[in-house]
Structure 1
Amino acid sequence: MRRVIGIALGLSVVIGVLVTAFVWPSSEVAPRDVPIAVAGPPEAVAQVEEQLAEAMPDAFDVSQLADADAARAAIEDRDVYGAVVLDPAGPPRVLTASAAGPAVAQLLQGLAAELSAQAGGAEAAPAVAVDDVAPLPDGDPRGIGFNSGALPMVMGGLAIGVAMVFTVAGVWRRVAGAALAAAGGGAVAMLVMQSWLGILEGNWWANAGVFTLTVAAVALTVVGVHSLVGEAGIGLSALVMLIVGNPLSGVTSAPEMLPSGWGAFGQLLPPGAGGSLLRSTAYFDGAAAGRPLLVLVSWLAFGLLLAALGTRVAARRSAEGGASDAVRDADEPAVGAGR
């Protein structure tokens, strides 16, 4: 009964950790230094910045730009999530990018209503136009499909890694199998998400490559950690990738809307980097792809390094074990010796 009670209490703690990991980031979603731009005359820009700081302290990281063209370019380059364009001859305009994050786009639409009210009162306010510079595709107008497609990258990578560990002998055969499975999974995922459902746009092969790279980064980490520390490495990999990485990926909102610091940390893990890179290739022609690509490649290299270290450690242990057996056999007298 002590064992039963101990296991039950331990599982209760695990459930508490799971609930905390998945619920806490979502419950704390709020804008925190979300990068946006304000374009227009310097005096008007300064006034809008002051209004934003008073209405939503620390919510926006504002960049000053010259005009609407510069604001659009900044959005398309993924330098900012949206912009307020001030026109001396008329009401302001708000530029959004649903493809960069529907949650931030909704936030900026609310900002447009606020600017409208401040400009002329709630009833006689001039209309503030909202222009979606980078809209989501017709097959996924609210981004739900994209958000749902992010989790299979993590789960698929974990499943491939675990399957290779338990069904394939030899670390490098496991690595090769994981790479092949990731490539096949990336192609199948794009057939479903882009060719069939129309959730993604952009270059088909680039999107498939991102999916493959993310799955492979997770799978090779599982294989590498397992080769070095054994079966405990599977639980450790799942903890990092699924329990920590997935909730902090910022895929369903934006990294800047997660609790301070955690969103940036999530972008250093494969789920966050993979989600950001897929947004770049699918909706922004690869803009701002450098950093998440570097993160995923680094995790791939990390998994391969661990696999190499695990292979060396196993070979050393095998050699030491063989030497010990040889010494023990040499010390034991042969049958009939000494008579």
Structure 2
Amino acid sequence: MHPSLRKELTVPVIVSVLLVGTAALMAFSFGSAVKSGDDVDHLSGDPQGLTVYLMALTTVVIACLTAIQLREQAEDLPVWWNVLFTVGISIGVAVTLYIGLDAAGNVLPLSLPTVPVALALVGFSCGMLFALAVELFDRWGTLPTWLLLLAMTQPAAGENASTVMERFAYWFPPGAGIAAVRDTLYFDGASVDTPLKILLAWSVITMLAFAWFRYHPVDHRRTKRRRAKR
């Protein structure tokens, strides 16, 4: 896969639309015409190239909401039941998005098993990261982690991204998930191994860290409150 193809596809949609519109106006004022196009065309079901971004964003939001509900409504839930519940929700969201956009909606030709697996790993790793932050910092960790995950959900995340933020986002679960799905859709799975490895690493590390700090809490006052409720 040529690097220019990846970089061409990662140009933000709004910026590209503005550039094309400005070029057309300039050309018209000089009495000439301008032709524009993409090295890699967007799919007909996703002409603006934003569906992959919205898929990742939906997964991140549901994962964070799940972690919040588990924290507020089931604080005494055993660690591994918490993990299993997060796994179930993540798989359910991934399968639902796959069925809705491919099998039923025919919006995007999503491939099995790469796309559902990538989305499930995004949901699980974000959910565990959010739960870990709350475990470490209590409610003070909620908003910063939420904003971090949303900021890392970059539509153009990738190894050859055009900005520092997009390159940085590639190493976080939302950006890696977007890169994995996009590579599968537009580049026949080229370079999809690296994003999947990033997602798997985040999933394992955050899960083990969450379990460790639940058994070895930083805030012992919270542990006493839990025991008092029993």
> Which bracket does the TM-score occupy, shorter chain normalised?
0.7 to 0.9
Are positions 1:80 and 2:9 aligned together?
no
Q: Cα distance 1:278–1:238, how it changes in 2: closer, same or farther (>3 A)?
A: same
Q: Write 1 or 2 for the structure with the bigger share of strand.
A: 1
| Aligned partner letter, 2:145 | S
Larger relative contact order (Cα-Cα within 8 Å, sequence gap ≥ 6): 2
Match of 1:292 among 195, 202, 205: 195
Are positions 1:135 and 2:41 aligned together?
yes
Indicate the percent of aligned positions where both proteins have the same amino acid: 19
Could you tell me how far 1:106 is from its partner in structure 2? 4.9
Q: Cα distance 1:257–1:211, how it changes in 2: closer, same or farther (>3 A)?
A: same
TM-score where L is the length of structure 2: 0.74
Are positions 1:302 and 2:205 aligned together?
yes
Q: Write 1 or 2 for the structure with the bigger share of helix.
A: 2
Q: Distance in 1 between matches of 2:220 and 2:201?
A: 28
Q: Cα distance 1:103–1:316, how it changes in 2: closer, same or farther (>3 A)?
A: closer
Count matched residues: 214
Q: 1:175-214 alignment to 2 at 5 Å?
A: 175-214=83-122
Q: Which runs of 5+ in 2 are unaligned?
A: 225-230
The range that moved more, 145-154 or 204-213, is 145-154
Q: Cα distance 1:151–1:316, how it changes in 2: closer, same or farther (>3 A)?
A: closer
Correspondence for 2:71: 165
Are positions 1:256 and 2:164 aligned together?
no
- Residue deviations 1:63-119, cap 9 Å, x none? xxxxxxxxxxx34xxx3227xxxxxxxxxxxxx965x65749958x96xx9xxx9xx
Q: Distance in 1 between matches of 2:174 and 2:215?
A: 29
Q: Cα distance 1:241–1:166, how it changes in 2: closer, same or farther (>3 A)?
A: same
Correspondence for 1:154: 60
The structure with the larger Rg is: 1
Correspondence for 2:134: 226
Q: Which runs of 5+ in 1 are unaligned?
A: 1-73, 83-95, 322-339
| Kept after mapping to 2: 8 A contact 1:187/1:208 | yes
Could you tell me how far 1:142 is from its partner in structure 2? 2.3
Could you tell me how far 1:297 is from its partner in structure 2? 1.8
Taking only aligned residues, the RMSD between alpha carbons, in angstroms, comes to 3.8
Q: Distance in 2 between matches of 1:264 and 1:144?
A: 18
TM-score where L is the length of structure 1: 0.53
